């Protein structure tokens, strides 16, 4: 009976007043995060996905195959405001990560945490490799998705404490926006709903404000869903693509938790995550919030079972970190203990993140990577060399007789390459680029008048399956001997398409990985 009473607390009965927010201390952490992100964001160049979102922003009518419209819209806005500025493009995500530092402290505060708990939580967030150099370094859907998971979690916890039903409306409206970045936020609510049904407070699910917000979210999602339906649900095909990528990278269930604990959470975050889930489930002082512990454990298990990417649920971790920090604070550690135990731990984790274990900032000179074997794990290197690739395509294009250029198109084998050509090609006078890879396929096929193609990113065999004449004329060379995904690829001049472009486009799968 006592459990039921806690789970079904009357709406008008709020929990104790939350402690004051440690503005000064948290602002120091947030300022350090902002300085580090701003100070390193310019180092190399655009990441491949960033170029794709910028291209999708220029093709909004057909750029919704593998993501909702929010990130392409943001990328387009930054393009119009800042042109080809890398820092300008990344300003929104840097702002989200800095806001995430404050959100992490606010979550600790909602759980009853004082200044120490708030500072500990903000510190874990600040040394998380994912938030600093996944979400915080390159413009991506996950940058926004992890922020909206965190913000929605804070609003839900705040409702539990205050029982102000407007907070559920706000949470649903945040979800409406978040679903326009990535549909994965729906998994958060499914996990929360199941946990609330099992542990309470069940009255949350009966609140009209929550359902009003849900209606708004559904209405906002209609244009995206209609586009997906009209194009046979290409977003659903991404599930298979991601599964193939994980398998190709040697991932899966065996590597899910190692990646989650190293790259996403970081060493300190991994420990705090485990402590936090247990604290939410079993700590008496956190009993009103135990549904979140069950939801977190359940969502993590589902992602693991389905071979999902561990960073998809990064926004879920922040509440768990806060719960761990709260129970640590409640044990009453002495100031000396905090200084001589917590201080060095945070410092070591910060150094590990900066050093690059497992994924650090782009602080190394490019010469550091020269002649190293190609590795998909060196994602920083995919921020370098795109203009050089476009230079190689330009060399091939200029090798085409001038009279033939009017019927020449550009064909790229990978959507990153196509996006780089869309970014840097027009200023070099190159024809419009086309690619059958992933969402770029939906941007359209080459014109039927194109009888010559400059081809990059295709193997000789694949090019020969499309054209009667294939000739390699140059190689991509980034000038730094950096072995990334495009270095050393051949650029072909291809003539005589073996079928119409419409037939060729249908022949090539739009969602190959």
Report in angstroms the alpha-carbon separations of 286 from 161, 320, 369.
11, 11, 48
CA dihedral sign of residues 7, 12, 16, 22: positive
Q: Are the CB atoms for 280 and 290 separated by under 8 Å?
A: yes
CA gap 96, 185 in Å, rounded: 16
Q: Are the CB atoms for 434 and 445 separated by under 8 Å?
A: yes
Q: In this predicted model, what pLDDT tens digit does every residue of 273-303 receive, in sequence order?
A: 999 999 999 999 999 999 999 999 999 999 9
Q: Which of 9, 1, 14 has the alpha carbon at shortest distance from 203?
A: 9
Q: Are the CB atoms for 476 and 388 separated by under 8 Å?
A: yes
Q: In this predicted model, what pLDDT tens digit does every residue of 40-79 receive, in sequence order?
A: 888 889 999 999 999 999 998 877 888 899 999 999 999 9
| CA atoms within 13 A of residue 153's CA, in its CB half-sphere | 36
Q: Which of 473, 441, 439, 426 has the alpha carbon at shortest distance from 454?
A: 473
CA gap 124, 349 in Å, rounded: 9
pLDDT computed for residue 325 by the predictor: 94
Higher pLDDT, 15 or 403: 403
pTM of structure:
0.90
Q: How many residues does the chain have?
A: 513
Q: Is the pLDDT of residue 185 over 60?
A: yes
pLDDT computed for residue 232 by the predictor: 87
pLDDT computed for residue 77 by the predictor: 97
Mean pLDDT score of the chain, rounded to an integer? Answer: 89
Q: Are the CB atoms for 175 and 213 separated by under 8 Å?
A: yes
DSSP state string for 307-337: T--GGGGHHHHHHHHHHHHHHHHHT---HHH
Q: Give the contacts of 141 (CB within 8 A, at least 6 positions apart).
A: 67, 71, 181, 182
- Cβ atoms < 10 Å from Cβ of 356: 17
CA gap 397, 394 in Å, rounded: 5
Which residues are bridge partners to 475 per DSSP? 490
Only one residue has tokens 């706000």, namely 170
CA gap 341, 151 in Å, rounded: 30
pLDDT computed for residue 170 by the predictor: 97
Q: Give the contacts of 401 (CB within 8 A, at least 6 positions apart).
A: none
Mean pLDDT value of segment 454-474 = 96
Q: Are the CB atoms for 323 and 111 separated by under 8 Å?
A: yes
Higher pLDDT, 511 or 190: 190
CA gap 476, 456 in Å, rounded: 9
Q: Which of 3, 295, 330 has the alpha carbon at shortest distance from 157?
A: 295
pLDDT computed for residue 10 by the predictor: 45
Q: Is the pLDDT of residue 8 over 50?
A: no
- Percent pLDDT > 90 in the chain is 66
Q: Is the pLDDT of residue 33 over 50?
A: yes
15 pLDDT tier (thresholds 50, 70, 90): low
Look at phi and psi of residue 499 and say left if phi exceeds 0, alpha if psi is from -120 to 50, else beta. Answer: beta
Q: Identify the weakest region by mean pLDDT among 248-252, 265-269, 390-394.
A: 248-252
Which residues are bridge partners to 493 per DSSP? 454, 471
| CA atoms within 13 A of residue 186's CA, in its CB half-sphere | 10
pLDDT computed for residue 62 by the predictor: 76
Q: Give the contacts of 2 (CB within 8 A, at least 6 positions apart).
A: none
Mean pLDDT value of segment 164-176 = 96
Q: Is the pLDDT of residue 9 over 80?
A: no
pLDDT computed for residue 246 by the predictor: 65
242 pLDDT tier (thresholds 50, 70, 90): low
Q: Give the contacts of 476 (CB within 8 A, at least 6 positions apart).
A: 385, 388, 389, 392, 456, 486, 487, 488, 489, 490, 491
Higher pLDDT, 173 or 306: 173
101 pLDDT tier (thresholds 50, 70, 90): very high
pLDDT computed for residue 428 by the predictor: 95
12 pLDDT tier (thresholds 50, 70, 90): very low
Mean pLDDT value of segment 199-215 = 95
Q: Which of 55, 56, 41, 46 has the alpha carbon at shortest distance from 93?
A: 41
Higher pLDDT, 158 or 337: 158
CA gap 370, 479 in Å, rounded: 10
- Percent pLDDT > 70 in the chain is 90
512 pLDDT tier (thresholds 50, 70, 90): low
- Cβ atoms < 10 Å from Cβ of 45: 17
3 pLDDT tier (thresholds 50, 70, 90): very low
Q: Is 365 helix (H, G, I), strand (E, B) or coil?
A: coil
CA gap 10, 463 in Å, rounded: 68
pLDDT computed for residue 361 by the predictor: 63
pLDDT computed for residue 262 by the predictor: 81
Q: Is the pLDDT of residue 358 over 90?
A: no
Q: Is the pLDDT of residue 356 over 70?
A: no
Q: Are the CB atoms for 179 and 228 separated by under 8 Å?
A: no
Q: Are the CB atoms for 452 and 412 separated by under 8 Å?
A: no
Q: Identify the weakest region by mean pLDDT among 85-89, 135-139, 497-501.
A: 135-139
Q: Is the pLDDT of residue 257 over 60?
A: yes
């Amino acid at each position: 009976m006592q459990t039921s009473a806690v789970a079904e607390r009357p709406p008008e009965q709020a929990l104790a007043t939350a402690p004051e927010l440690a503005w000064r201390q948290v602002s120091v952490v947030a300022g350090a995060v902002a300085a580090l992100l701003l100070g390193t964001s310019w180092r190399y160049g655009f990441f491949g996905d960033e170029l794709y979102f910028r291209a999708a922003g220029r093709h909004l009518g057909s750029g919704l195959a593998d993501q909702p419209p929010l990130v392409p819209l943001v990328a387009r806005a930054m393009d119009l405001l800042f042109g080809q500025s890398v820092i300008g493009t990344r300003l929104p995500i840097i702002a989200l990560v800095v806001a995430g530092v404050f959100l992490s402290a606010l979550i600790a505060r909602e759980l009853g945490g004082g200044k120490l708990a708030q500072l500990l939580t903000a510190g874990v967030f600040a040394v998380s490799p994912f938030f600093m150099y996944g979400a915080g370094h390159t413009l991506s859907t996950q940058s926004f998705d992890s922020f909206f998971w965190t913000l929605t979690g804070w609003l839900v916890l705040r409702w539990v404490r205050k029982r102000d039903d407007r907070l559920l409306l706000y949470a649903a409206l945040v979800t409406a926006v978040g679903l326009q970045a990535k549909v994965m936020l729906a998994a958060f609510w499914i996990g929360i709903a199941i946990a609330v049904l099992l542990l309470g407070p069940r009255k949350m699910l009966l609140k009209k404000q929550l359902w009003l917000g849900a209606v708004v979210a559904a209405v906002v999602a209609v244009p995206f869903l209609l586009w997906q339906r009209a194009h046979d649900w290409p977003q659903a095909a991404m599930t298979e693509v991601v599964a193939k990528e994980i398998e190709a990278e040697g991932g899966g269930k065996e590597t899910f938790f190692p990646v989650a604990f190293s790259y996403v959470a970081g060493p300190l975050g991994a420990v705090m995550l485990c402590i936090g889930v247990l604290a939410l489930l079993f700590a008496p002082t956190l009993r009103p919030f135990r549904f979140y512990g069950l939801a977190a454990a359940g969502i993590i298990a589902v992602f693991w079972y389905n071979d999902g990417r561990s960073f998809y649920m990064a926004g879920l971790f922040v509440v768990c970190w806060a719960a761990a920090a709260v129970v640590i604070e409640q044990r009453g550690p002495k100031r000396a203990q905090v200084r001589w135990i917590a201080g060095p731990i945070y410092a070591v984790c910060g150094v590990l993140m900066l050093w690059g274990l497992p994924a650090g900032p782009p602080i190394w000179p490019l010469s550091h990577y020269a002649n190293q074997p190609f590795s998909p794990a060196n994602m920083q290197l995919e921020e370098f060399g795109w203009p050089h690739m476009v230079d190689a395509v330009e060399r091939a294009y200029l090798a085409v007789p001038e009279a033939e250029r009017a019927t020449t198109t550009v064909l790229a084998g990978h959507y990153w390459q196509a996006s780089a050509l869309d970014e840097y090609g027009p200023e070099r006078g190159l024809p419009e680029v086309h690619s059958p890879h992933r969402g770029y396929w939906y941007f359209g096929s080459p014109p039927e008048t194109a009888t010559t193609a400059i081809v990059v990113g295709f193997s000789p065999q694949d090019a020969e399956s499309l054209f009667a004449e294939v000739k390699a004329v140059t190689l991509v060379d980034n000038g730094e001997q950096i072995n990334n995904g495009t270095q050393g690829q051949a650029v072909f001049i291809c003539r005589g398409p073996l079928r119409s472009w419409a037939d060729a486009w249908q022949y090539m799968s739009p969602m190959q990985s």
